[in-house]
């Protein structure tokens, strides 16, 4: 895992911890290893967890009532690519009558379209079974328009000390500077928001990011906007890195995506005009609490829930934030050779390693 990626996911952990009343983060020490998390100095207590068992879906079938899946990197990738074993998992759970949810950080379109795209690949998630980070934007925008700021139970992270539901000047939030896929504008439009032209600036200093589709020009303009006093950065997709489709030799290449772009913007927003603290930054989706509250509300009470994903910092840690068990698919966003080092660096370990 790249050092920058590690820093981003550790930041997410610290934000969530600072906004909750849960037990402080603890360093994870892998038995037999002398490597420890970078948080060791600040959080000296440690907890030792045994290596998770390697399981197949059939081994988990009777242990859980509901199964939540990440989309990209777990079930499928761009175009029509479906990962080996993914369709077998899905069909097995459908036949068993389990509750299924697609829990995705994709903000490339509204939930109805995301569900339809999954269905085209053979995964017949309904719109009601699809919960995306983009779908959280409407409620959050309404809170900002009322002059509210996020708290630990509602949205995600505010980075410059404004957490706790503090009152602020209500925002119009009718336009933003947007970097992302063209279809992602549908998510904004559903909230009554227009994306201004790429060479323009919104009336209020607000930037929204849903994918890493920036150019040097758009990045520079976004930084200029975010350096204005009172600027806000909306991170609609908090994934820092994502896997590409494996090549003809089965090799998977990973690349920085919207979470990495957003962190670069956040850091570059720090300037004299805003006292060096930078823009207010809000994250929607995994691993932050709001998306898990939406998932829980969609399931029967007391459901035994398993989250299945390919990323330690969003899927596995997010499941722990939700109180769910987790299963990690290795070799997608966590290369097998880097697994132990990544777990130690983040202090995160799943309950299972899921085999195709």
Query: Across the chain, what does the average pLDDT equal?
Result: 89
Indicate whether 255 belongs to any domain.
yes
Is 14 part of a structural domain of the chain? no
Q: Mean pLDDT, to the nearest integer, of 307-312? A: 98
- Whether 69 maps to a domain, the answer reads no
Residue 22, pLDDT > 90, answer no
In this predicted model, what pLDDT tens digit does every residue of 56-91 receive, in sequence order? 999 999 999 999 999 999 999 999 999 999 999 999
**Residue 343 domain-assigned (yes or no):** no
Q: Which residue from 195, 267, 269 is spatially nearest to 228, judged by alpha carbons? A: 269
pLDDT at 249: 87
CATH number at residue 248: 3.40.50.1000
pLDDT at 19: 80
pLDDT at 21: 55
Whether 203 is covered by a domain: the verdict is yes
Please list, in sequence order, all residues whose beta carbon lies within 8 angstroms of the beta carbon of residue 117, skipping any fewer than 6 positions away: 109
Domain that holds residue 158: 134-283
Query: How many independent structural domains does the chain possess?
Result: 1
In this predicted structure, the answer to whether residue 209 has a pLDDT above a threshold of 50 is yes
- Tell me the pLDDT tens digit for each residue of 156-192: 444 433 333 345 789 999 999 999 999 999 999 999 9
Rounded to whole angstroms, the maximal C-alpha distance in the chain is 59
Within a domain: 26: no
Asked if the structure places residue 147 within a domain, the reply is yes
β-pair partners for 276: none
Q: What is the DSSP letter of 313?
A: I
Q: For residue 237, is it within any domain?
A: yes
Angle of helix 339-346 versus helix 3-18 axis, rounded to 10: 40
Matching residue, tokens 């398993």: 306
CA distance linking residue 199 with residue 208, whole number of Å: 15
In this prediction the pTM is: 0.89
Q: φ and ψ at 155, to 5 degrees?
A: -120, -95
């Amino acid at each position: 895992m790249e050092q920058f990626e590690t820093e981003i996911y550790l930041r997410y952990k610290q934000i969530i911890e600072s906004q909750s009343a849960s037990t402080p983060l603890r360093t994870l020490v892998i038995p037999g290893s002398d490597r420890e998390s970078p948080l060791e100095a600040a959080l000296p207590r440690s907890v030792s967890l045994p290596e998770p068992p390697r399981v197949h879906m059939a081994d988990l079938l009777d242990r859980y009532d509901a199964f939540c899946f990440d989309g990209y990197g777990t079930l499928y990738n761009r175009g029509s690519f479906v990962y080996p074993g993914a369709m077998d998992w899905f069909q097995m759970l459908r036949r068993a009558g389990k509750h299924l949810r697609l829990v995705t950080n994709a903000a490339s379109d509204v939930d109805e379209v995301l569900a339809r795209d999954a269905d085209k690949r053979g995964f017949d998630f309904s719109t009601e079974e699809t919960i995306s980070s983009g779908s959280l934007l409407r409620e959050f925008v309404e809170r900002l328009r009322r002059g509210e700021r996020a708290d630990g139970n509602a949205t995600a992270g505010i980075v410059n000390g404004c957490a706790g539901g503090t009152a602020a000047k209500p925002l119009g939030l009718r336009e933003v500077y947007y970097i992302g896929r063209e279809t992602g504008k549908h998510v904004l439009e559903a909230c009554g928001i227009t994306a201004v032209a790429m060479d323009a600036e919104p009336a209020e200093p607000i930037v929204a990011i849903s994918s890493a589709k920036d150019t040097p020009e758009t990045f520079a303009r976004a930084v200029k906007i975010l350096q204005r006093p009172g600027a806000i950065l909306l991170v609609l997709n908090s994934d820092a890195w994502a896997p590409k489709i494996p090549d003809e030799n089965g090799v998977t290449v990973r690349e920085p995506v919207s979470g990495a772009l957003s962190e670069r913007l956040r850091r570059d927003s720090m300037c004299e005009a805003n006292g060096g603290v930078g823009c207010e930054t809000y994250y929607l989706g995994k691993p932050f609490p709001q998306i898990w509250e939406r998932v829980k509300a969609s399931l029967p009470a007391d459901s035994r829930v398993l989250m299945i994903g390919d990323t330690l910092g969003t899927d596995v840690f997010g499941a722990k934030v939700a109180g769910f068990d987790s299963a990690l698919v290795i070799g997608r966003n966590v290369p097998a050779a880097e697994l132990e080092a990544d777990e130690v660096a983040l202090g995160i370990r799943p309950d299972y390693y899921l085999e195709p």
